[in-house]
Chain A
Amino acid sequence: MTQKELHNQRLVREAQKVVMQQHTRRHFIKESAMGLGALALGNLLGGCSTGSNNVFDATNPLAPKAAPFLGKAKSVIYLHMAGAPSQLEMFSYKPELAKLDGQDCPPSLLNGKKFAFIRGVPKMLGPQASFNRYGQSGTWVSENLPHLSTVIDDVAVLQAVTTDQFNHAPAQLLMHTGTPRLGRPSMGSWVTYGLGTENKNLPGFVVLTSGGNNPDAGKSVWGSGFLPSVYQGVQCRSEGDPVLFIKDPAGMDRDIRKASIDAINKVNEESYTEYQDPETLSRISQYELAYKMQISVPGVMDISTEPEYIHEMYGTKPGESCFANNVLLARKLVEKGVRFVQLFDWGWDTHGDSAGNAVDIGLKNKCRKIDRPITALLQDLKQRGLLDETLVVWGSEFGRTPMQENRDGKTMPFKGRDHHGEAFSMWMAGGGIKGGTTYGETDEIGYNIVSGKVETFDVQATILNQLGFDHEKFTYESQGRNFRLTDLSGKVIHDIIA
């Protein structure tokens, strides 16, 4: 049996298991000695009971659920470079731009355009990295990503992603929630709402941040919007408790904690006898679950137990707060059945206002920090047979201009580029994506799209598709209307699907 057949078989088995569990659960409820007429007696609130097909079981909101159709991917690792890396120094090879370096930007590119910082007439800025073709596919990759170029045949590069937002916070919200405004559920929330999680001792949607700051749009990019709050991303941290309040209080050891949870649950059983409130039973199980999380989370979140060759591969340094550690954690979490792992790495906003924000200095350093761990992630997932069922997405909220930024019309101290939403690069790998593909094309300077345009909604539609959802049918009713992640748009990018 080929790897693929094995993989499919596993997915089928999983789907069957879910159906069976649902059946058994019904059976259990029906036959339960407690005589609970319906276990789904929790506070079925929210938009969930307005006659729509919202599926929210308050007593077990994260129970694994089968997707509407058999998806290729079981889980997602989404690597978001907050701040918008320059596609022109990473994936978008533009030799013509080099020839224009230092010349005034032609007015045709500026008419009717609005920039975040460019004012007046800026100069063109040639690529600040050299490019080569790599792999069987001959995909162009810059010298800034020497490791990634070795696995590029597993990657499908999208060269013509576009957004209509040119500020970080709204653009990040658009990418992750389908609207530039606050208040809608994030992609990870949608996915955990739709699929639940396979490891009930861990959150279904985990967020890891690095680079010293949260993403510009704050926690809203992993918020649950109008979905029940149980689906919001749980931020796991590399300093302090990995999950907030997961550690026992100082001076209270694990045995005492266990004894006290047992006592709480025993008293709660008394309350249940008194009130017969099904919500009390649910609370008893949530306290048990909390204890299980206390036991399992720190272990999963501890990368120090990984073998040396893994650390070598990822470039991880246990104890530090860095992107590489988060990437390794992402692999561990997915391996343990976490549905959606969202990484944000801050510090890609290369305006040229400092060396750290220069496309020829700071950007290279940032690339160095992500290149090895991301490459290791793809290799490691592959060697564990997980790449087929794990969709890895790399991208950002927008790209950068082929012009050099001239903030307020002035010359900048370093080489930088302004925000550019018209065209930028992203990539996907694993989870049923056709490796070695390049999709979409921009003009000779990477300013406008020539073909293969991909909107943020298309990225979302494709991710949902790989997980087994038709993005047009995956809705939640709120305030009298059905909402979906892709709003009123979105096309699955079939050209990059295997």
Chain B
Amino acid sequence: MFLKPSKKLFYSSAVLIVLAITAVVIYPSDPIDYNTEVKPILNKKCITCHGGVKQEAGFSLLFEEEAFAPTKSGKPAIIKFKPEESELIRRLHLTDPEERMPYKHDPLTKEEIKILTTWIKEGAKWGSHWAYQKVKEPAVPSINDDWVNNNIDKYIVEKLEAEKLSPSKEADKATLLRRVSLDITGLPANKKIAAKYLNDPSDKAYENLVNDLMATPAYGEKWAALWLDLARYADTKGFEADRGRNIYKYRDWLIHAFNTDKPYNDFLTEQIAGDLLPNPSDAQYIATAFHRNTMNNDEGGTDNEEFRTAAVLDRVNTTWSAVMGTSFNCVQCHSHPYDPFKHDEYYKFMAFFNNTRDEDSPFENPVLRQYQGIDNVKFESVKKWLQQNAAPAAANYWITFLRTLQPSINAFQCDKFVNGANGWYATLRNNGTCNLKNVVLTGKSELLFKYASRVDKGVWRIYLDSLTGPLVKEVPVKNTGGGFVHTTTSLPDIKGTHTLYFKYYSPKIKNSTDDGILFEWFSFGNPFPAKEKPGYDSAYKYFNDLIMAGAETTPIMMDANEDLFRPTHVFERGSWLSKGKLVAPDVPAVLPSLPKNAPKNRLGLAMWLTDKNNPLVSRTLVNRLWEQLFGTGIVETLEDLGTQGLSPTHQTLLDYLSWQLMHTHNWSIKKTLKEILLSATYRQQSMFTKELLKKDPYNKLYARGPRVRLSAEQIRDQTLAVSTLLSPKMYGKSVMPYQPEGIWRSPYNGDAWKLSEGEDQYRRSLYTYFKRTAPYPSMLTFDGGAREVCVIRRIRTNTPLQALTSLNDSSYIIMARSFAKSMDKVNGSIEAKIKMGYEQMMYKPIAPAKLNVLTSLYESSLSKYQSNKKAATVLVSDSTLASPTNRAALVVVANAMLNLDEWLNKN
């Protein structure tokens, strides 16, 4: 008998392994922790081949049951308590590169092998990643230190002490004032609030300042801007023509929600499922526009189902990334490669969202219709009449219909056209036919529909199940002169779900290719109720008036009733065209299950999200709040708290804040923010020291305060504010401040950037019209995303294009002019003017060296302008000035001041 060389190797290495294992066993220490010690090794060295996508040799380390299951060899690779029998360990020790693991990569270090071996020896206890574990009330470190202001600081000090670092002292009042104002309101504090704080020597001065700032309406505007990124809010639909979308009321809802400090659980519930709350208010409907900010594709011939599906997938991905700090989109195609989410679970989750009535319609259906003026009087009157005279279910049905025109079927769902076509409408020409699938006719006695025709004596025939099937109804259709009208026709008593076939004919039509009829929607139901009751005639007339009335519309989420229910399938490999098995709404198994009383719809989902057992929602929010204040999250990867994200710098602090948010502050964002803002950690001065530069260049330990470049919105808004141009106007349609010519050039779209008038040019940046394919240039340059999908985190850059913008953009020149004008109001020397301007910007006196530089800039510019008055006139652009040269030089200085590093940063 021969021993093959490889077997020989096996025996000899087996001896080594036994030796190695013995060595480990002799020196026991603390038990190995799966999450902090084992999982990182598996993720880094093993899971690429033995994980979600690839499962080489039938071995996967992603899920517990997989890790201990038999592999292709028939034996499990990990035998609990028996490292010497575990193939996983044996393979780590081999020397043959074909057999040794990791395959074709560097071997594991001795230390790593030791960890895995000991772990198996100790029973290979599996663990779940910290972020998937319920938030428990954490113990606050007992720290006695004068520097400490509240519990947050204790967590910070604990770690600083371990690193032998000490915190910085509190920033000076002026710096702190500017920092906290920009953080709370996105603007410099107004003069009154600033003066009150600066002149208040008491210990309470800072806390009062925080309260004052949080009470200003600017607070809601600042924090809404953050949520607009997450909601991928835009004023256009995206894709080719990128037409406008009327959805600004959602932005206004956000501002109002933040200003009234709507508890975060309600804030989420209304956005995810406001439409499913009992008797939803207009505001609750509008909140659901959160998930109607997905893109629409109106391009000719696009498959509406493809883009509807894309929108639904985006809702799933956004819900996970924005609300739960988890990148779930990988699971769309396969089980998650690193985190314990299974492929099917993606689609179970998608089922929560898949039953909404939106279908990539160019009309944005369903929309909330808010009637204006006399129409609103009519609406209130019909509503009251229905509530008093109709059965509650019927009253509710028709009131909802007036508010949303639902339930109805978009006519573009018709198919199988012969001499007809579908686009935005379903069009039939002479003798043209088409069909409409899955129409539930049980209990339906009337069809309400909207159409247009330019032909007299038209006849629309409806057949059951085929063009040769029984005639359901022959409907005479009028010449509407091309305009759309709605009308009703009664239906015979038919049971079941059917495909209806439509045929149109008119003896008056000239060419067979002329359009006969265009349908917009169909609604199968019953007649307007309570015909026998007094007031019916006028109520029904108002009802008909209102269907055609112009109303303010906002796209909303609305679930289909059982007639229009849409089943959800798993998409094989993520392709919406390969539909796999049917699934029902559910949440991933690794997380807590749906609360017992939760319905299996978006409302149930909202209950699950806002349940205090949900481990991700509170952590994601407090991490984001922290990032807004400190520039970096406690987990830097806001988008991923999972195993592939970065580890938290202060995990117990993150849990503490999450606990506080839910249990102490009852989901109040203002209270949670306030706790962080009052910490000594936040109030530190932000200077680097040589030691910090070396030991903690990214300020992960918080031995100094935050120094971060401001956001695109903050930079423009604070500059408008200091130059006294900022309009305080809140809410309403988006505005168009100055932008250079030729930014907008969408094909098939005549929309143009029309400069807003008056103060609307100087509104806060969150009111600037946001066109997806051509965002406002300075927003884009300062790292605002295009909001095609959820912008989870803006990556700050520092580029020459940013410098060119704040130096040369006409908007910034206008601001510099206005700022110069206000500096010029100071009587006295140029130094006095610059001093005053700087103090308005920074709340503190200018350092002499800086003043010297700016004064010389003034002098040298002045001498230039004295020899070129024409240029001065152009720059100043103010015909009331007798001599523009001094002012022009001051504009140059103002422009320079508004470009200073300390102005572009919070310090």
CB distance from B560 to the nearest CB of A (A): 25
Q: Which of A59, A203, A259, A261 contacts B861 (CB 8 A)?
A: A259
CB neighbours (8 Å) of B853 from chain A are: 263, 266-267, 270
Instruction: Judge if B747 is at the interface, Cβ distance under 8 Å.
Output: yes
Most chain B CB within a 10 A radius of its CB, from A41, A282, A286: A286
CB neighbours (8 Å) of A480 from chain B are: 327, 330, 337-339, 640, 642, 644-645
User: Roughly how many angstroms separate A209 CA and B746 CA in the complex, as a whole number?
Assistant: 12
With A37-B694, A169-B299 known to touch, is A251 a contact of B804 (CB < 8 Å)?
no
CB neighbours (8 Å) of B860 from chain A are: 256, 259
Whether A264 contacts B786 by the Cβ 8 Å rule is no
Binds A, one of B21-29, B62-70, B122-130, B685-693: B685-693
CB neighbours (8 Å) of A61 from chain B are: 797, 799
Whether A183 contacts B892 by the Cβ 8 Å rule is no
CB neighbours (8 Å) of A181 from chain B are: 310, 788
User: Roughly how many angstroms separate A240 CA and B877 CA in the complex, as a whole number?
Assistant: 20
Instruction: Judge if A494 is at the interface, Cβ distance under 8 Å.
Output: no
CB neighbours (8 Å) of B390 from chain A are: none
User: Roughly how many angstroms separate A44 CA and B330 CA in the complex, as a whole number?
Assistant: 25
CB neighbours (8 Å) of A104 from chain B are: none
Instruction: Judge if A287 is at the interface, Cβ distance under 8 Å.
Output: yes
Q: Which chain B residues (789-844) contact chain A, with CB distance < 8 Å?
A: 789, 793, 795-805, 807-810, 813
CB neighbours (8 Å) of A275 from chain B are: 686-688, 707, 907
CB neighbours (8 Å) of B775 from chain A are: 219
CB distance from B41 to the nearest CB of A (A): 13
CB distance from A453 to the nearest CB of B (A): 20
Q: Which chain B residues (35-86) contact chain A, with CB distance < 8 Å?
A: 44
Instruction: Judge if B780 is at the interface, Cβ distance under 8 Å.
Output: yes
Q: Which of B240, B892, B905 contacts A260 (CB 8 A)?
A: B892
Whether A246 contacts B513 by the Cβ 8 Å rule is no
User: Roughly how many angstroms separate A258 CA and B686 CA in the complex, as a whole number?
Assistant: 31
Whether A219 contacts B786 by the Cβ 8 Å rule is yes
User: Roughly how many angstroms separate A260 CA and B858 CA in the complex, as a whole number?
Assistant: 9
1/0 per residue, CB under 8 A from B, across A453-464: the answer is: 000000000000
Instruction: Judge if B581 is at the interface, Cβ distance under 8 Å.
Output: no
Interface residues on B, range: 35 or more
User: Roughly how many angstroms separate A256 CA and B339 CA in the complex, as a whole number?
Assistant: 57
Instruction: Judge if A151 is at the interface, Cβ distance under 8 Å.
Output: no
Whether A409 contacts B338 by the Cβ 8 Å rule is no
Instruction: Judge if B397 is at the interface, Cβ distance under 8 Å.
Output: no
Most chain B CB within a 10 A radius of its CB, from A49, A181, A237, A479: A479
Q: Which chain A residues (217-268) contact chain B, with CB distance < 8 Å?
A: 217-220, 223, 228-230, 232, 234, 237, 239-241, 243-253, 255-257, 259-261, 263-264, 266-268
Binds A, one of B201-209, B478-486, B896-904: B896-904
Q: Which of A115, A244, A250, A263 contacts B804 (CB 8 A)?
A: A244
Instruction: Judge if A38 is at the interface, Cβ distance under 8 Å.
Output: yes
1/0 per residue, CB under 8 A from A, across B612-634: the answer is: 00000000000000000001100
User: Roughly how many angstroms separate A223 CA and B780 CA in the complex, as a whole number?
Assistant: 10
Instruction: Judge if B470 is at the interface, Cβ distance under 8 Å.
Output: no
Whether B808 contacts A249 by the Cβ 8 Å rule is yes
Instruction: Judge if B34 is at the interface, Cβ distance under 8 Å.
Output: no
CB neighbours (8 Å) of B725 from chain A are: none
Whether B299 contacts A251 by the Cβ 8 Å rule is no
Whether B747 contacts A251 by the Cβ 8 Å rule is no
Instruction: Judge if A271 is at the interface, Cβ distance under 8 Å.
Output: yes
Q: Which of A214, A217, A250, A279 contacts B798 (CB 8 A)?
A: A279
CB neighbours (8 Å) of B689 from chain A are: 276
User: Roughly how many angstroms separate A492 CA and B8 CA in the complex, as a whole number?
Assistant: 44
Instruction: Judge if B457 is at the interface, Cβ distance under 8 Å.
Output: no
Whether A271 contacts B900 by the Cβ 8 Å rule is yes
Whether A213 contacts B746 by the Cβ 8 Å rule is yes
Whether B875 contacts A251 by the Cβ 8 Å rule is yes
Whether A43 contacts B796 by the Cβ 8 Å rule is yes
Instruction: Judge if B280 is at the interface, Cβ distance under 8 Å.
Output: no
Instruction: Judge if A55 is at the interface, Cβ distance under 8 Å.
Output: no
User: Roughly how many angstroms separate A117 CA and B300 CA in the complex, as a whole number?
Assistant: 7
Whether B800 contacts A290 by the Cβ 8 Å rule is yes
Q: Which of A36, A168, A280, A294 contacts B240 (CB 8 A)?
A: A168
CB neighbours (8 Å) of A166 from chain B are: 301
Interface residues on A, range: 35 or more
CB neighbours (8 Å) of B772 from chain A are: 182, 218, 220
CB neighbours (8 Å) of B427 from chain A are: 408
CB distance from A418 to the nearest CB of B (A): 8
CB neighbours (8 Å) of A364 from chain B are: none
Closest to A172 in B: B240
Q: Which of A41, A50, A232 contacts B644 (CB 8 A)?
A: A50
CB distance from A253 to the nearest CB of B (A): 6
CB distance from A88 to the nearest CB of B (A): 20
Instruction: Judge if A293 is at the interface, Cβ distance under 8 Å.
Output: yes
CB distance from B77 to the nearest CB of A (A): 25
Instruction: Judge if B888 is at the interface, Cβ distance under 8 Å.
Output: yes
User: Roughly how many angstroms separate A240 CA and B809 CA in the complex, as a whole number?
Assistant: 12
With A244-B777, A253-B864, A276-B687 known to touch, is A183 a contact of B849 (CB < 8 Å)?
no
Instruction: Judge if B773 is at the interface, Cβ distance under 8 Å.
Output: yes
CB neighbours (8 Å) of A36 from chain B are: 693
CB neighbours (8 Å) of B797 from chain A are: 43, 58, 61, 228-230
Whether A114 contacts B303 by the Cβ 8 Å rule is yes
Q: Which of B773, B798, B800 contacts A42 (CB 8 A)?
A: B798
Q: Which of A246, A271, A409 contacts B902 (CB 8 A)?
A: A271
Whether B803 contacts A286 by the Cβ 8 Å rule is yes
Whether B901 contacts A283 by the Cβ 8 Å rule is yes
User: Roughly how many angstroms separate A260 CA and B862 CA in the complex, as a whole number?
Assistant: 12
Instruction: Judge if A46 is at the interface, Cβ distance under 8 Å.
Output: yes
CB distance from A323 to the nearest CB of B (A): 15
With A167-B301, A479-B640 known to touch, is A251 a contact of B795 (CB < 8 Å)?
no
With A249-B813, A260-B892, A408-B427 known to touch, is A58 a contact of B786 (CB < 8 Å)?
no
Q: Which of A167, A256, A283 contacts B892 (CB 8 A)?
A: A256
Whether A209 contacts B745 by the Cβ 8 Å rule is yes
User: Roughly how many angstroms separate A181 CA and B317 CA in the complex, as a whole number?
Assistant: 14
Whether B803 contacts A45 by the Cβ 8 Å rule is no
With A169-B240, A293-B800 known to touch, is A237 a contact of B688 (CB < 8 Å)?
no
CB distance from A248 to the nearest CB of B (A): 6
CB neighbours (8 Å) of B805 from chain A are: 244-245
CB neighbours (8 Å) of B186 from chain A are: none
CB distance from B482 to the nearest CB of A (A): 17
1/0 per residue, CB under 8 A from A, across B668-691: the answer is: 000000000000000000111110
User: Roughly how many angstroms separate A293 CA and B799 CA in the complex, as a whole number?
Assistant: 12
With A37-B697, A168-B240, A286-B798 known to touch, is A259 a contact of B300 (CB < 8 Å)?
no
With A37-B694, A220-B788 known to touch, is A249 a contact of B796 (CB < 8 Å)?
no
Whether A44 contacts B698 by the Cβ 8 Å rule is yes
Instruction: Judge if B289 is at the interface, Cβ distance under 8 Å.
Output: no
Instruction: Judge if B564 is at the interface, Cβ distance under 8 Å.
Output: no
CB distance from B519 to the nearest CB of A (A): 15
Whether B809 contacts A255 by the Cβ 8 Å rule is no
With A219-B774, A268-B900, A481-B337 known to touch, is A239 a contact of B300 (CB < 8 Å)?
no
1/0 per residue, CB under 8 A from A, across B856-888: the answer is: 110011001000100111111100000000001
Instruction: Judge if B742 is at the interface, Cβ distance under 8 Å.
Output: yes
Instruction: Judge if A308 is at the interface, Cβ distance under 8 Å.
Output: no
CB distance from A329 to the nearest CB of B (A): 16
Q: Which of B631, B799, B856 contacts A230 (CB 8 A)?
A: B799
**Extra inter-chain contacts (11) besides given A217-B240, A277-B686, CB under 8 Å:** A45-B796, A117-B300, A213-B747, A219-B774, A240-B741, A244-B809, A252-B871, A260-B895, A275-B686, A276-B687, A481-B337
Q: Can you sample 23 A-B contacts with CB below 8 Å?
A: A45-B636, A45-B796, A49-B636, A116-B300, A168-B299, A182-B295, A212-B745, A218-B242, A220-B772, A256-B861, A263-B853, A263-B857, A263-B896, A267-B901, A270-B847, A274-B687, A275-B686, A279-B709, A283-B901, A410-B513, A479-B329, A480-B640, A481-B327
Of all A-B residue pairs in the complex, the 4 with the closest CB atoms, nearest first, are A218-B773, A251-B875, A116-B301, A251-B874
